[in-house]
């Protein structure tokens, strides 16, 4: 280690920050939250096999460093769906956000604005699309929608997102009903409905819980790609299909007009036994063949994971639990620190890989582990 390395390390590690690692943020969140809320955040569906598989998948890939490459100081900057980003990271549309901090997605949006990261703002959030936009007027924002229930509601949400300056839509296609989450069942977890009905209070409904409940009415038929394409035909905003795990579904999404594909198993919270999202990423990238941008969520826990996802074909990653951990640990400052630590580790990995930026990451940077 050179004297310059030692000085740089001393500056980073001795900066006096409350959190030096992402694991410390996770630990602080666990200590802060009530046990049943922690289980709601940390748990998955069924036996949680898919939850575990998401992490195991990253361990099956090793890096292939290129030494003495002469690469410049690496850049983490990129863009996605027309939005400039300081690094290839978006925050996921995790709802019930006031469970983790009273400011919820408003605090996430402010942190993202400060750090140059985009928010995917949930439909089932504690605060409305308008309230989150007002909290961070210059932030890059994508509005989440569920293609369920009455089409009038779906179209109204599109109009609201466009009117208050959202850049795109994220249509969650893998959630026609909630997953079988046994931690929540065991805990008899029944939070106040107000934490997921912020958008319906804002819409002036006298019974926001009932209106939101229409989305998950199992007597209604599950939407089809054709119905979704029709409902989005007049949208002024590009849209991203969230919850894709196969090349066939990626093809269908692109045919329906999707500008982006989010490879995701909902963080292991929907169908237990579904494959790890990272394992499915190459198949989806091949199917899309450059016709849409590709994002990945489910299992991202550190900056090195971001690099592996990009090397396997993702344009950006989406973090849910990590952002929620930061929110629970220290509100807006906690989310900002999550981003800072991801960016710092990603920059270190790029340097050690001999790449000058995230745009230089491709399949040559990783290798499938033989074990």
| DSSP code string of 91-117 | E-----GGGT-TTHHHHHHHHHHHHT-
pLDDT classification of 2: cutoffs 50, 70, 90: very low
Whole-angstrom distance, CA of residue 232 vs CA of residue 119: 21
Give the side-chain half-sphere CA count within 13 A for 342: 31
Q: What pLDDT, on the 0 to 100 scale, is given for residue 17?
A: 84
Indicate whether 239 belongs to any domain.
yes
Q: Is the pLDDT of residue 5 over 70?
A: no
Whether 196 is in a domain gets the answer yes
Look at residue 7 and tell me whether its pLDDT is greater than 50. Answer: no
What is the four-CA torsion angle of 111, 113, 119, 121, rounded to 10 degrees?
Answer: 80
Catalytic residue IDs = 266
| Residue 329 pLDDT | 98
pLDDT at 84: 97
pLDDT for residue 217 is more than 80: no
**Could you give the CA distance from residue 43 to residue 81 in angstroms, rounded to a whole number?**
31
Feature table: binding site: 93-95, 144, 172, 181, 242, 264, 266, 269, 297-301, 320-321
Closest CA relative to residue 178, chosen from 216, 211, 124: 216
Domain containing residue 109: CATH number: 3.20.20.70
Averaged pLDDT for residues 231-240: 97
What is the number of domains present in the chain?
Answer: 1
Range of the domain at 115: 19-366
Question: 364: which 2 tokens?
Answer: 């040559």
- The answer to whether residue 276 is domain-embedded is yes
Instruction: Write down the pLDDT at residue 16.
Output: 66
Q: Summarize the confidence of residues 123-128 as an average pLDDT.
A: 96
| Residue bearing tokens 């983490």 | 76
DSSP, collapsed to helix, strand or coil, labels residue 294 as: strand
Q: Please check whether residue 52 lies inside any domain of the structure.
A: yes
Q: How confident is the model at residue 266 (pLDDT cuts 50, 70, 90)?
A: very high
How would you class 82 by CB atoms within 10 Å of its CB: exposed for 0-12, middle for 13-18, buried for 19 or more? exposed
* Residues flagged as binding site for glyoxylate: 181, 266, 269
Annotated binding site for FMN: 93-95, 144, 172, 242, 264, 297-301, 320-321
Residue 283 lies in a domain: yes
List all residues 6 or more positions away from 50 whose beta carbon is below 8 Å from its beta carbon: 44, 265, 268, 271, 272, 273, 274, 275, 276
pLDDT digits (tens, 9 = 90+) for 142-171: 999 999 988 998 999 999 999 999 999 999
Tell me what pLDDT residue 149 has.
84
Query: How far separated are the first and last CA of the chain, in Å rounded?
Result: 32
Residue 4 forms part of a structural domain: no
Residue 350 located in a structural domain = yes
Nearest of 346, 338, 271 to residue 305 by alpha carbon: 346
What's the mean pLDDT when you consider all of the chain?
Answer: 92
**Model confidence over 314-364: pLDDT tens digits?**
999 999 999 999 999 999 999 999 999 999 999 999 999 999 999 999 999
pLDDT tens digit string along 13-23? Answer: 555 689 999 99
Encoded tokens for 341: 């630590």
pLDDT of residue 206: 55
**Distances from the Cα of 44 to the Cαs of 37, 41, 167, 231, 320, in angstroms?**
13, 9, 30, 31, 13
- Quick one: pLDDT at residue 370? 80
Q: What does the pLDDT look like over 169-214, one tens digit per residue?
A: 999 999 998 899 999 999 999 999 999 999 988 665 556 555 556 6
10 vs 12 pLDDT, higher one:
12
Residue 107 in any domain: the answer is: yes
CB distance 331 to 36 below 8 Å: no
Q: In this structure, are residues 106 and 122 in contact, taking their beta carbons and an 8 Å threshold?
A: no
């Amino acid at each position: 280690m050179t004297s310059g390395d030692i000085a740089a390390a001393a500056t980073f590690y001795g900066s006096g920050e409350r959190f030096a690692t992402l694991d410390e943020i996770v630990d602080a969140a666990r200590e802060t939250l009530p046990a049943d809320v922690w289980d709601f955040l940390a748990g998955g569906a069924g036996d949680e096999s898919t939850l575990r598989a998401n992490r195991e998948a990253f361990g099956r890939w090793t890096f292939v460093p290129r030494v003495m490459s002469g690469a410049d100081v690496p850049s983490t900057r990129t863009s996605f769906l027309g939005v400039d980003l300081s690094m290839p990271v978006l925050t996921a549309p995790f709802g019930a956000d006031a469970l983790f901090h009273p400011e919820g997605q408003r605090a996430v949006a402010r942190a993202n604005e400060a750090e140059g990261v985009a928010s995917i703002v949930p439909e089932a959030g504690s605060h409305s699309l308008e309230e989150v936009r007002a909290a961070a007027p210059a932030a890059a924002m994508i509005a989440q929608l569920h293609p369920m229930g009455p089409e009038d509601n779906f179209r109204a949400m599109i109009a609201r997102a466009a009117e208050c300056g959202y850049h795109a839509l994220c249509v969650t296609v893998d959630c026609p009903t909630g997953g079988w989450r046994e931690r929540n069942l065991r805990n008899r977890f029944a939070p106040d409905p107000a934490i997921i009905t912020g958008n319906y209070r804002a819409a002036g409904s006298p019974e926001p819980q009932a209106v939101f409940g229409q989305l998950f009415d199992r007597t209604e038929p599950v939407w089809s790609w054709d119905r979704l394409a029709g409902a989005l035909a007049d949208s002024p905003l590009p849209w991203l299909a969230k919850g894709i795990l196969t090349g066939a579904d990626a093809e269908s999404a692109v045919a329906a007009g999707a500008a982006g594909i989010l490879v995701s198993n909902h963080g292991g919270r929907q169908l237990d036994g579904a494959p790890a999202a990272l394992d499915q990423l190459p198949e989806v990238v091949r199917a899309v063949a450059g016709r849409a941008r590709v994002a990945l969520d489910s299992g991202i826990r550190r900056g090195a994971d971001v690099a592996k996802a990009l090397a396997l074909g993702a344009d950006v990653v989406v973090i849910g639990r990590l952002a929620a951990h930061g929110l629970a640990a220290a509100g807006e400052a906690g989310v900002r620190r999550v981003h800072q630590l991801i960016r710092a580790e990603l920059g270190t990995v790029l340097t050690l890989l001999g790449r000058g930026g995230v745009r230089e990451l491709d399949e040559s940077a990783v290798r499938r582990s033989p074990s």
